[in-house]
A and B are shown apart, each in its own frame.
Chain A
Amino acid sequence: MNLNKNDQSISIFIVDDELSVRDSLTKWFIEDGYKADAAADAEEALKKLKPGIWDIIFLDIKLPGMDGMELQQRIKSIDPDATIIMITAYATVDTAVKSLKEGAHDYVTKPVDPDYLSHLVANVVKQRRLLSENIQLKERIQELYEIDQIVGDSPAMQKVFELIKTVAPTDTSVMIRGESGTGKELIARAIHSNSSRRFFPIITINCGGLTEGLTESEFFGHEKGAFTGALYRRKGKFEMANGGTIFLDEVGNIDAKAQTDLLRVIETKQFTRVGGDEIIEVDFRLICATNRDLELAVKEGTFREDLYYRLNVFSISIPPLRERRSDIVLLCNYFLKKLASSMNRPATGFAPEALERLKTHDWRGNVRELRNAVERAIVVAKGPTITVDDLPIPPTSKAAARDQSLEALESVHIKDVLEQMGWNITRSAEMLGIDRATLYHKIKKYGLRKQT
């Protein structure tokens, strides 16, 4: 299946006596990747009609000679499976309704809203696919797409990848926890890219940056004239996410009114635009992220408990960088490779002391801070090697910089012993008082590597 192009096998036929309508509709559909042709009247149309050739037929009600209503009957007898959509001017809506009773799928009035037209056709295509029972098996996700931007060999990150793999193909709501700068949005995008929704958009709502008073319009859109200056209809984020994923970033920061609005749309998958009364149905998957203690916020009554449970169905915690120090070198090289060429700078590697300093820094701002530090060093570095002087971080004593957790100390101690024994596993294990299998396990766990 050609994933890139629209449904090229779908064919659309247009019968309209107005040349401009035939031309513009044919062109519109061809640009959309469909096969399309047109006829100016019933006679020409009947010549081009054979059973099974056209999937969708747009039929103008007013035609010279045999009119659209009569032609509809003829088409039904030639190709009962074709989906017929009537084209009408406002004056002929009654006739359009009559044609619906006689089996037309829908009708459009000229001029058509482009959004309406593309949705109408997309829905017919979907329906026809289901009808013909030619439903292809949903593609199995064999490997993770677009996670190449998430870098990490550490056991903690491997666990995160496993969780992404598990949850991505489902429709479950996901809550991503992690300190600022750990890459929560990247994780959300990876989940979306690995779900069946990947050909629909992922829409990010930054809940920390919502303007009071405009939140409702931001979520649900508004109708033309809903307030001063609203000259045209605007689509809200939830409508844009139809078929795709909504990513609520910093969800812990939304106010009480927005919490209520959110809860309603999550529960009903329906809303109305501001200033409108049409009920819009949406199909979306929800992912949210926060660095706040939401459980505490619930206890304190600043975050709705019912909303919390709706959001927190499957949780992924991203460890801070200081808890996965073994990834630092990997990340540094990744950012260097990625940034240096685009910035047209000479840097190609790090001096050992520079790497050592990067490895021992505290990184309170996590991966984002590390990326900025590498970026700055690339700018400052004069030659191919980034030295300690190019780094924006001050030297710190090893002890002060080191993570004081038992695990971190164990990792450093094992590494010291391994270095001392020249990475002889048997002798190192003896010295540490553990067996070789345990040592291998710990080397893997802490991502330890022999320095070359």
Chain B
Amino acid sequence: MKLYILPLLFTDNGLLEHLSSVLSEAFKIPVSFLEESFSLEEGYDPVRNQYNSTWILSQLLSEAPKEDCKILGVTSVDLFVPVLTFVFGEAQLRGRAAVVSSYRLRDELYGLPKNPERLRERLEKEAVHELAHTFGLVHCRRPECVMHSYTYAEEIDLKSKNFCSTCSVLLDQNKGQAPA
């Protein structure tokens, strides 16, 4: 099993490198990068001024190497699914692909000074969270578990980047099973 990270309009290489080491450690899998190979244009909704994350997932799936792997898109654009006003990311439950966005995680959108450290922490938590969905994990009730679902950026700060003991066991179990 391997993880591929595919940057999509995401230029902060330092942050990508950091994500790569965090994810490699959290899921105990090797991580490689893929070159940005498709345009997001088709997934853009001009009325909402946002990008359709479900469409991005389908593109990621077609880009994924034909091997036992997961693929994570990392983007700086604002994401949505049609029925919701926005999402921080989206994943295929028990699937191969996930996407995460840094857009709504930035403090400056909420009238606060720029905080790169906080952005880094929030992005790593959301990346771990979305990727864990591809391993079959659902949301957890424990507020400090990375699988707890929060809908506000500032609430993401409440959880840790770690799995609680139960989710940790589930992850290990699910990793041992063949992908759906």
- Complex partner residue of A118 from B85, B140, B149, CB under 8 angstroms: B149
A32 at the interface (CB under 8 A from B): yes
CB of A194, distance to nearest CB on chain B (Å) = 15
- CB distance B166 to A33 under 8 Å? no
- State A199–B87 Cα separation when bound (angstroms): 23
- State A199–B93 Cα separation when bound (angstroms): 24
Within 8 Å CB of B80, what residues of A?
Answer: 111
Within 8 Å CB of B104, what residues of A?
Answer: 232
- Complex partner residue of B111 from A25, A27, A229, CB under 8 angstroms: A229
B108 at the interface (CB under 8 A from A): yes
CB of B162, distance to nearest CB on chain A (Å) = 14
- Complex partner residue of B82 from A24, A114, A229, CB under 8 angstroms: A24
B86 at the interface (CB under 8 A from A): yes
Chain A residue nearest in CB terms to B140: A4
- CB distance B82 to A20 under 8 Å? yes
A23 at the interface (CB under 8 A from B): yes
- Complex partner residue of A110 from B83, B111, B138, B141, CB under 8 angstroms: B83
- CB distance B141 to A3 under 8 Å? yes
CB of B103, distance to nearest CB on chain A (Å) = 10
A18 at the interface (CB under 8 A from B): yes
A62 at the interface (CB under 8 A from B): no
- CB distance B152 to A25 under 8 Å? no
Chain B residue nearest in CB terms to A222: B111
- Complex partner residue of B139 from A6, A112, A200, A235, CB under 8 angstroms: A6
- CB distance A114 to B86 under 8 Å? yes
- Complex partner residue of A234 from B81, B142, B143, B154, CB under 8 angstroms: B154
CB of B170, distance to nearest CB on chain A (Å) = 9
Within 8 Å CB of B1, what residues of A?
Answer: none
Within 8 Å CB of B155, what residues of A?
Answer: 201, 235, 240
B110 at the interface (CB under 8 A from A): yes
- CB distance A112 to B84 under 8 Å? yes
- Complex partner residue of B110 from A24, A114, A201, A231, CB under 8 angstroms: A231
A21 at the interface (CB under 8 A from B): yes
- CB distance A111 to B84 under 8 Å? yes
CB contact under 8 A between A115 and B152, given known A23-B54, A199-B143:
yes
- CB distance B84 to A18 under 8 Å? no
CB of B147, distance to nearest CB on chain A (Å) = 9
- CB distance A27 to B93 under 8 Å? yes
A342 at the interface (CB under 8 A from B): no
User: Interface readout for B142-166 with A: 1 if CB under 8 Å, 0 if not?
Assistant: 1100000101101100100000101
- State A201–B133 Cα separation when bound (angstroms): 22
B167 at the interface (CB under 8 A from A): yes
- State A200–B150 Cα separation when bound (angstroms): 12
B109 at the interface (CB under 8 A from A): yes
Main secondary structure of the interface of A (DSSP, over half): mixed
- Complex partner residue of B151 from A24, A118, A202, CB under 8 angstroms: A118
- Complex partner residue of B93 from A21, A30, A110, A244, CB under 8 angstroms: A30
- CB distance B138 to A20 under 8 Å? no
User: Interface readout for A1-31 with B: 1 if CB under 8 Å, 0 if not?
Assistant: 0011110000000000010110111011011
Within 8 Å CB of A114, what residues of B?
Answer: 84-87, 151
A344 at the interface (CB under 8 A from B): no
CB of B139, distance to nearest CB on chain A (Å) = 5
Within 8 Å CB of B86, what residues of A?
Answer: 114
A293 at the interface (CB under 8 A from B): no
- Complex partner residue of B83 from A3, A4, A24, A201, CB under 8 angstroms: A24
- CB distance B85 to A20 under 8 Å? no
A309 at the interface (CB under 8 A from B): no
Within 8 Å CB of A202, what residues of B?
Answer: 143
- CB distance A20 to B108 under 8 Å? no
- State A71–B145 Cα separation when bound (angstroms): 40
Restricting to B42-61, which residues have a CB under 8 Å from any CB of A?
Answer: 48, 54
A113 at the interface (CB under 8 A from B): yes
- State A33–B141 Cα separation when bound (angstroms): 10
- CB distance B83 to A20 under 8 Å? yes
User: Interface readout for B72-112 with A: 1 if CB under 8 Å, 0 if not?
Assistant: 00000000111111110000010000000000100011111
CB of B130, distance to nearest CB on chain A (Å) = 10
Chain B residues packing against A (C-beta within 8 Å): 48, 54, 80-87, 93, 104, 108-112, 133, 138-143, 149, 151-152, 154-155, 158, 164, 166-167
Can you offer 8 A-B residue contacts whose CB atoms are under 8 A?
A: A20-B83, A32-B139, A113-B151, A203-B158, A217-B111, A231-B109, A231-B110, A234-B152
Taking A18-B82, A32-B149, A201-B143 as known contacts, 10 extra A-B pairs with beta carbons closer than 8 A to each other, sorted by chain A number, are: A4-B140, A6-B141, A20-B54, A24-B54, A28-B83, A31-B139, A118-B149, A202-B143, A229-B111, A234-B152
